[in-house]
Amino acid sequence: MQHIRNFCIIAHIDHGKSTLADRLLQQTNTVKEREFQNQVLDSMDLEREKGITIKSHAVQMQYEQAGKQYTLNLIDTPGHVDFSYEVSRSIAACEGALLVVDATQGIQAQTISNLYLAIENDLDIIPVLNKMDMPSAEPEEVSEQIIDLLGCDKEDILQVSAKTGEGIENVLNAIIHKIRPPEGDENAPLQALIFDSFFNPFRGIIAYFRIMNGQIHKDDFVKFIATGKEYHADEIGILSLSREPRNTLKAGNVGYIISGIKTAKEVKVGDTITHVERPSKESIEGFKEIKPMVFAGIYPVDADDYEELRSSLEKLQLNDASLSYEPESSMALGFGFRCGFLGLLHMEIIQERLDREFNMDVITTVPNVSYKIYTTKKEVLDVHNPSGMPPLNLIERIEEPYIIAQIITKTEYIGAIMKLCLDKRGMLKSQIYLTSNRIEITFELPLGEIVFDFYDKLKSCSKGYASFDYHINDYKPSKLAKLDILLNGDPVDALSTLIHVDNAYSFGRRMCEKLKELIPRQQFDIAIQAAIGSKIIARETVKAVRKDVTAKCYGGDISRKRKLLEKQKKGKKRMRQIGNVEVPQSAFLAVLKID
């Protein structure tokens, strides 16, 4: 155990986490030069493009120093608040962290909240200035910032270039000498923390764990404490670049287990693995059941693709347990699914994966959070779909989920951020100055307010210099209304939203305005109305086309014009017929972006 080091890398997007990881793998000969395809760790395309490691991975390296053989486990962490729980579990599996900062950019706010998480978990932090090969590097300035934040000595900060490989030795050195070896009792009952899981089409679910105490052997009978399920350990092993089976793994190490588990739902990040015989009495602390918090309908653009969409979602769920879905139908959009996500980014990722990996064209409806509705019959309903709202006269009260949000930013942006949070019905809880110009603001906010455009707004009003982290707090009474959109008098269910009464009027108005922009003129006038119950709160009209004919149509014009009209016709085919109105797909999507 003395020769094991478990660490993660904390870095802002593009500061060089992946490149540095590659260098470490190279330097330790984990990857041969030949097998090297850049950035080995980010294996999903989507991650690479988004610059976010969506799913944590882990990799083990062997490194010899002064005649001693060290085992280094690098545990990768995702980088977005939607996955903050996963990050916290990855951090809990480590003793140390590399804080990688781009020397040309300086420390970015988003890094700070993960860094605090690491400090809270008592991790040994190794600050690393990356991109030192670049002429624009400002090591002095950026070192100041790091010292401010960590209270470390200047000499502790390593200067490297992940690109040229300069200084990588020092990083390995620091990992060995500055990060403490894991502690734990090899002879105690087994306690292993699950920090990630992965779906493999041939082997089922592969869970990644860190052994805190005890040991695990191939063919052991194990139990997952939170789910209470028991399995046979068909295969255990370590994660080098590929899986390498082992017969035994002991406290302090990181590994994987394959035990014939078919669906991701059975493996919960944060759960503790122990033995069926001689089980550990306690589980590792910090386990939380993660529940989808944001819900939206997903419909196939082409109704014929419904079954294909179902099987695509099924496959996605195999390796993404936090995705949930159930069938629903809409008058406007036909048959589809109500899906639950961890947050908006998660929703975007699912949409993109449907598109890229399954080639599915989908329409996503306005997202909603889950509300608790107390009826006059003393029932409590979980409603996360406007159509699930009982009639007003049966509702006694409604409660909505609130979050505690921590925002760390520079003092100059306080004003703008305060205003944003207050506009979103937030309540200020505390303001703490971390340094003379860095502040932590804590707000209590309705979750429903951040599912729309909160991130984008926060980013723009703080020029990107604000880190945001949240956890669900509790439910509180809410004045909720169901806002309907009507086209020529017909309600369009796919455009209905649940929204706080105070926001309903302006939202309804903006919705009508937006739809007016997006719905093309047709053969007759189209009335767009926003209504709460039977009360119309906003109205716009799309005037009928008055005229649509080009002047000339001779030899040369014919091809050109045919192509133009063919394009129009294609656009029409992709429209949804609602009553007698043709609504383009873009209308369903654009309401998500309403300002």
Ligand X SMILES: C[S@@+](CC[C@H](N)C(=O)[O-])C[C@H]1O[C@@H](n2cnc3c(N)ncnc32)[C@H](O)[C@@H]1O
- Parallel/antiparallel/unpaired status of strands 438-446 and 272-275: unpaired
* Alpha-carbon dihedral 26, 31, 33, 34, rounded to 10 degrees: -160
Q: At 586, which amino acid appears?
A: S
Cβ proximity to ligand GDP: between 54 and 333 the closer is 54
Among 356, 397, 479, 562, binds another protein (CB under 8 A): 562
- When the beta carbons of 442 and 522 are compared against another protein, the nearer one is 522
Q: Which of 69, 136, 551, 595 binds another protein (CB under 8 A)?
A: 551
How many angstroms separate the CA atoms of 53 and 75, rounded? Answer: 11
- The 10 Å Cβ neighbour count of residue 260 is 12
Minimum CB–partner distance for residue 563 and ligand X (Å): 18
Q: Least Å distance between CB 157 and ligand GDP?
A: 15
Contact pattern for another protein over residues 221 through 240, marking x by CB under 8 A: --------------------
Which residue number is nearest to ligand X in terms of Cβ?
551
Check residue 534 for interaction with another protein (CB under 8 A): no
Q: Select from ligand GDP, ligand X, another protein, none the partner in contact with residue 66, using the beta carbon and a kind-dependent cut-off of 5 to 8 Å.
A: none
**CA separation, residue 109 to residues 115, 477, 496, 594 (Å):** 10, 33, 36, 27
558 binds, among ligand X, another protein, ligand GDP, none (CB under 5 to 8 A by kind): another protein
Residue 330 pairs in a beta bridge with 334
The one of ligand X, another protein, ligand GDP, none whose footprint includes residue 162, by CB under 5 to 8 A per kind, is: ligand GDP
User: Which DSSP state fits 82?
Assistant: G
Return the one option of ligand GDP, another protein, ligand X, none that residue 561 interacts with (CB less than 5 to 8 A, by type).
Answer: another protein
- Identify which of residues 102 and 266 has a Cβ nearer to ligand GDP in the complex: 102
Total residues at interface with ligand X (CB under 6 A): 2
* Contact call for residues 124 and 97 (beta carbons, < 8 A): yes
Smaller CB distance to another protein: residue 66 or 549? 549
Q: Quick one: angle between helices 168-178 and 17-27, nearest 10?
A: 80
Site string for ligand X, 98-137 (x = CB under 6 A): ----------------------------------------
Residues facing residue 334 across a β-bridge: 330
Name which of 331 and 553 has its Cβ closer to ligand X.
553
- Give the binding range for ligand GDP (CB under 6 A) out of 88-96, 158-166, 468-476, 578-586: 158-166
Q: In sequence order, what DSSP letters do the residues of 176-217 get, joined into one string?
A: HHHSPPP---TTSPPEEEEEEEEEETTTEEEEEEEEEESEEE
92: nearest Cα among 181, 176, 6 = 6
Closest CB to ligand GDP among residues 161, 322: 161
501 neighbors 481 (Cβ within 8 angstroms):
yes
Residue with smaller CB distance to ligand GDP, 138 or 361: 138
Question: Considering only residues 230, 550, 574, 593, which one is a binding residue for another protein as defined by CB under 8 A?
Answer: 550
CB of 550 to ligand X, least distance (A): 9
Q: How far is the CB of 453 from ligand GDP (least distance, A)?
A: 24
Residue 447 makes CB contacts below 8 A (sequence gap 6+) with: 293, 294, 369, 400, 401, 402, 403, 472
Amino acid letter for position 377: K
Nearer to another protein by C-beta: 463 or 562? Answer: 562
Among 34, 281, 535, 552, binds another protein (CB under 8 A): 552
* Nearer to ligand X among residue 202 and residue 554 (C-beta): 554
- Cα–Cα dist 191/194, whole Å: 10
Closest approach, Cβ 357 to ligand GDP, in A, equals 22
Residue with tokens 């509702």: 395
Question: Cα dihedral angle (240, 350, 83, 50), rounded to 10 degrees?
Answer: 70
Which listed range, 134-142, 147-155, 294-302, 540-548, lies at the site for another protein (CB under 8 A)? 540-548
- Of the candidate residues 423, 566, 574, 593, the single one contacting another protein (CB under 8 A): 566
Nearest one of 118, 120, 53, 115 to 82, comparing CA atoms: 53
In the list 130, 365, 478, 585, the residue contacting ligand GDP (rule: CB under 6 A) is 130
How many residues sit close enough to ligand GDP to count as binding (CB under 6 A)?
Answer: 16
Q: Footprint of another protein on residues 414-473 (CB under 8 A)?
A: none
Pick from 135, 134, 94: nearest CA to 118: 94
**Taking contact as CB under 6 A, which single stretch among the options 105-113, 155-163, 206-214, 233-241 is the one that binds ligand GDP?**
155-163
Sketch the per residue contact string, 540 through 559, with ligand X: x for CB under 6 A, - otherwise: -----------xx-------
User: What are residue 371's DSSP bridge partners?
Assistant: 383
Residue with tokens 């909603």: 368
Q: Give CA–CA dist 67/585, Å, rounded.
A: 65
Q: Which stretch binds another protein (CB under 8 A): 74-82, 161-169, 389-397, 565-573?
A: 565-573
Q: Are strands 124-130 and 158-159 parallel, antiparallel or unpaired?
A: parallel
376 binds another protein (CB under 8 A): no
Residue 96 · residue 124 · CB < 8 Å = yes
Q: Out of ligand X, another protein, ligand GDP, none, which partner does residue 133 contact, by CB within 5 to 8 A per kind? A: ligand GDP
**Which residues fall within 8 angstroms of residue 234, CB to CB, at 6 or more apart?**
218, 219, 258, 259, 260
Comparing CB distances to another protein, the nearer of 140 and 548 is 548
Residue carrying structure tokens 């947050």: 343
CA 6, CA 73: separation in Å to the nearest integer? 5
User: For the residues of 248-296, what is the DSSP string, one character each?
Assistant: EEETT-EEEEE-----GGGS-TT-EEEESSS--SSPPTT-------EEE
Q: Which amino acid is at 574?
A: R
Using rule CB under 6 A, residue 18 touches ligand GDP: yes
Binding site for ligand X (CB under 6 A): 551-552
Positions in the binding site for ligand GDP (CB under 6 A): 11, 13-19, 51, 130-131, 133-134, 161-163
- Contacts with another protein by CB under 8 A lie at 523-524, 545-556, 558-559, 561-562, 565-566, 568-569, 572
